[in-house]
Amino acid sequence: MNRRTFLQALMLTATGGLTSLPAWADDDEDDNKTSTNVRFSLANTGITNKHVVIVGGGMAGATAAKYLRLWGGAGVSVTLVEPNPIYVSNIMSGLVLAASRTLSSLNYSYTNLINNYGISLKQASVVSFDNTRKIVTLSDNSSLSYDRLIFATGIQLDDAYGLTATDYAGNYPHAWQSGPQTSKLASLIANMGNNDTFVMTIPAKPYRCPPGPYERACLVADYLKRTGKTGTKVIVLDENTAIAGSDLSAPYNAIQAEPHSFHQAFTQIHTNITYHSGVTGISVTKSSANDGSGSISCSAGNFSAKVINIIPPHRAPSVMTNLCNGGRWAPVNVLNYESTVANMTGIHVIGDASQTTQPKAGHIANQEAKVCADAIIRAFQNQGVDPAPVTNSACYSPITNTTASWLTGVYQYDATSKTMRLWANGAFTDKAIESADISSKNFSKMSTWFNTLMGDSFS
C-alpha cells in the first residue's frame, strides 16, 4: 500500500460513517517504516507514553487495538490480553452446523495485529482489575498497568433450564461461542436420523446476534432436508414476545430480526420448522444416555428431542461484575464507551458486554471499537469527544446453503435520549432495513461482507 492510498483509506474510515476497510494483508509497497516492529508508518500525533490494555481479542478488542495504533501513533502502546491463540469467528458458524463450511475456515490469528501495528499480545485472561491503582491482574499472576482500560470480553452464558456449563461443554452444547461446541453440535445434527426432532431455544432479548437463532433454525432444517432425513422436525422455542407495531400475526410477530425473511423461511421454505413465541417455564430433562437427547417441557408443550440445543440467557463475563451496576451488561456513555458506573473513569466497554441500544453484533462491535479508539486518542490529546458519532451494522443470514437474506442499519447519536438510534432519510426511524428477498445473490455478497469485516478487524 502506498502512502496516498493508505491515507485515503484512513480518511474513509475516520469520516465516512466509520465504514469498514479492506484487508491489507496482500499489500507489499510498505514504505516509510518508522518502527522496527510495525509494517505501517504510524502517525505522529504528539501523544507520548500512553498505555492501553484491552481485555479480549474478539471483534471489538482486535479492532480497537488496531485503530488505537493506527490513529494514536507510536506513543500509544497497546497490550491485548486474550487467552486463546486464535480467534474463531461466530459469524458464519451456522454454516458449519449445516456442513457447508469448516470450523477452521473461521480461524483468525493475531499475527497481523502484532506485525502490522506493533500490538503486544499477552496470552492470558484478566482475572481482576483495580481502577484506583490502574492495574489489571492476569491468570498467570502477572499484572499490567494502564492509562486506559478497555473491556471487550464478549459474553458469558448462564447455567439455565436445568443445564450447566459442564453440560454445554459435553453433549448439550449451546455453540453460541464458536469453538469445540460448534463441532460437537454439528456432529449431533449429522447423526440425526429419519423422524428425529431438533429442539432449540432462544433467550429473551437482548442476546448476541438478533437474527442468529432464526438463522440457525433455517440452516439445521435445510441440512436435514438436503441430507434426505425424512420426517425430521425443528422446533423453535422463543422466549421473546410480540414486538409492538409488527405487521405479522402471532407467533411470528415476536421474531427479533429480519421478521419478514424468517416468516417466509418458516412458513414457505422450511415447513419442517415449527416456531413458538412467548415461551416460558423451559425445563430440560437429559436422557439417561446423556447423549444430547432428552425432553423439554415449557408453556408451549412437552417435546422429545434427539438433539437439544439451548441458547442460554447471557451476560457480561463475571470479571466485569463491578462494571454492571447489578445488571447483566455494562452501562456506557456511547460518545466514548466509558463506563458510567461510579469510580470507573478511564474504563471503556465495547462489543457485546456493553449495554447500548445497538445490537450485540460483530459488525457493531467493530464500529463501537472505532468510536472508542477515537475518543481515547482525543482524550490523550485533551480534546473533547466527537459529539455526533455514527455507527452502522450489516448482517447477512443464510437461509439455505445457497441463499441468504440481510439486515442493515445506520445508528446516529440522539442527544436527547443520549442513545444511538436507527436513522434513515434524515430522521430517526428506530427500524432496521431488511432485504426484500431471499436470494443466491445475497448469499454471494455475504462472503464479501464477511471477509471485509474480518479483514478490517484482524489485518
Ligand X SMILES: Cc1cc2nc3c(=O)[nH]c(=O)nc-3n(C[C@H](O)[C@H](O)[C@H](O)COP(=O)(O)OP(=O)(O)OC[C@H]3O[C@@H](n4cnc5c(N)ncnc54)[C@H](O)[C@@H]3O)c2cc1C
Residues that bind ligand X (CB under 6 A): 55-61, 81-84, 87, 90-91, 93-94, 125-126, 152-154, 176, 208-209, 212, 317, 319, 351-353, 360-363, 365, 395
Q: Residue 298 or residue 311: which is nearer to ligand X going by CB?
A: 311
Q: How far apart are CA 353 and CA 55, in angstroms?
A: 11
Residues 6+ apart with CB under 8 A from 7: none
Closest residue to ligand X using C-beta atoms: 58
Q: How far is the CB of 449 from ligand X (least distance, A)?
A: 9
* Shortest reach from residue 277's CB to ligand X, in Å: 20
50-55 vs 354-355, strand pairing mode: unpaired
Measured between its terminal Cα atoms, the distance across the chain in Å is 13
For residue 67, give the amino acid letter. Y
| Identity of the residue, 208 or 270, whose beta carbon is nearer to ligand X in the bound complex | 208
Strands (E), 241-319: 273-276, 283-286, 294-298, 301-305, 307-309, 314-315
User: How far is the C-alpha of 438 from the C-alpha of 225, rounded, in Å?
Assistant: 18
Q: Which is nearer to ligand X, 144 or 152 (CB)?
A: 152
Cis peptide before 85 (omega within 30 of 0): no
C-alpha cell at 121: 499480545
**Considering the complex, what minimum distance in angstroms separates the CB of residue 124 from ligand X?**
7
Q: Which is nearer to ligand X, 203 or 212 (CB)?
A: 212
Cα distances (angstroms) measured from residue 355 to each of 112, 206, 337, 339, 419: 30, 9, 10, 10, 10
Based on CB atoms, which residue is closest to ligand X, 90 or 309?
Answer: 90
Nearest residue (CB) to ligand X, 212 versus 389? 212
CA-based radius of gyration for the chain: 22
Residue 189 C-alpha from the chain's centroid: 24
Nearer to ligand X, 113 or 353 (CB): 353
Q: Which is nearer to ligand X, 47 or 79 (CB)?
A: 79
Please identify, using beta-carbon distances, which residue of 6 and 117 lies nearer to ligand X.
117
Antiparallel, parallel or unpaired: β 301-305 and 135-138: unpaired
* Element of type H or E holding 390: strand 390-398
Q: State in angstroms the smallest separation of the CB of 101 from ligand X.
A: 12
Tell which phi-psi region holds residue 145, choosing left (phi > 0), alpha (psi between -120 and 50) or beta: beta
Rounded to the nearest whole angstrom, what is the least distance from the CB of residue 451 to ligand X in the complex?
13
CB of 301 to ligand X, least distance (A): 26
Interhelix angle 59-72/3-15, rounded to 10 degrees, is 120
Using alpha carbons only, what angle is made at residue 16 by residues 88 and 446, rounded to the nearest 5 degrees? 40
From the CB of 360, what's the least distance to ligand X, in Å?
A: 5
CB nearer to ligand X: pick between 253 and 366: 366
DSSP one-letter string for 109-172: ESHHHHHHH--EEE-S-EEEEETTTTEEEETTS-EEE-SEEEE----EEPPBTTB-HHHHHTTS
Min dist CB 54 to ligand X, Å, is 9
Cβ 239 to ligand X shortest distance, Å: 17
Closer residue to ligand X (CB): 365 or 379:
365
Nearer to ligand X, 43 or 407 (CB): 407
Smallest distance from ligand X to CB 351, Å: 2
Helix then strand then coil, in percent of the chain rounded to 5, is 30, 25, 45
Residue 265 Cβ vs ligand X, minimum distance, rounded to whole Å: 15
Q: Residue 24: which residues within 8 A CB-CB, separation 6 or more? A: 1, 40, 116, 455, 459
**Least distance (Å) from ligand X to the CB of residue 383?**
26
Give the closest residue to 218 by CA, choosing from 187, 248, 257. 257
